[in-house]
Amino acid sequence: MDVRQILQLLPHKPPFRLVDEVSLYIPGNKLEARFNPADYRDAFGGLDYVPIAILLEGLAQTGVLLTQLETAPLEEHEFPMLGTVRADIHRPVMWPETLVFMVKPYRLLTKSAVLHGTIQGSGGSPIAEAQLSVAVAKAELEGE
């Protein structure tokens, strides 16, 4: 699958889509994506720094993409759910900085995955490192 098509697998939409583009996918190895948060500054609180929730959510959304690519795409009425996140946040991030999310599979199951991820600035400066688990849940629809 072309890296330009991979983003179509992401069910998250604005104002909570935190991946702008997929820049690299090596099957069985890693996925790299980028996000420029500057346009969202007011919606995300308007302070000097990008909230850590946004940093980690962008990494998780990158993980949702990799999990689907390495297992199976989400089916109708399925949605991704984060499980556990353990993270070391190394430094604050200013808004003009482009974020580079990179995730690698640690353990893949049919409908879940444990991933290792890093966040860097566009110049390669480390921002955070995390281990996260992602699973697929079924939407509880009324009448079902």
Partner 1 sequence: MRPDLLRELPYKKPWIFVDRIISCIPSQQISTLKNITSSDFFLRGHFPSYSVFPGMLLLEGIKQSCELLVKLSGYEPEPEFLQAAQLQIRLLKPSLPGDTVVYSVKWTAEEDGRMLFSAEGKIEGVPSVRCTFRLAADAVRHSGRKEGTR
The DSSP bridge pattern shows strands 126-138 and 30-35 to be: unpaired
**Least CB distance to partner 1 at residue 25 (A):** 23
Q: Is 81 in the site for partner 1 (CB under 8 A)?
A: yes
Of 21, 72, 77, 96, the residue at the interface with partner 1 (CB under 8 A) is 77
Q: Is 79 in the site for partner 1 (CB under 8 A)?
A: yes
Complex with partner 1: residue 27 or 51, whichever CB lies closer: 51
Distances in Å between the Cα of 17 and the Cα atoms of 73, 88, 110, 136, 141 are 18, 23, 25, 18, 23
Side chain identity, residue 39: D
Q: C-alpha angle 38/44/46, rounded to 5°? A: 75
Number of residues that bind partner 1 (CB under 8 A): 41
**Least CB distance to partner 1 at residue 33 (A):** 16
Q: Is 48 in the site for partner 1 (CB under 8 A)?
A: yes
Read off the tokens for 11: 């069910």
**Least CB distance to partner 1 at residue 98 (A):** 18
Hey, what's the torsion of the CAs at 4, 72, 102, 59, to 10 degrees? 100
Q: Is 92 in the site for partner 1 (CB under 8 A)?
A: yes
Look at residues 96, 98, 101, 92 and name the one whose alpha carbon lies nearest to residue 129: 101
Q: Is 89 in the site for partner 1 (CB under 8 A)?
A: yes
Q: Is 45 in the site for partner 1 (CB under 8 A)?
A: yes
Q: Which residues bind partner 1 (CB under 8 A)?
A: 11-17, 42-49, 51-54, 56-57, 60, 77, 79, 81-93, 137, 139-141
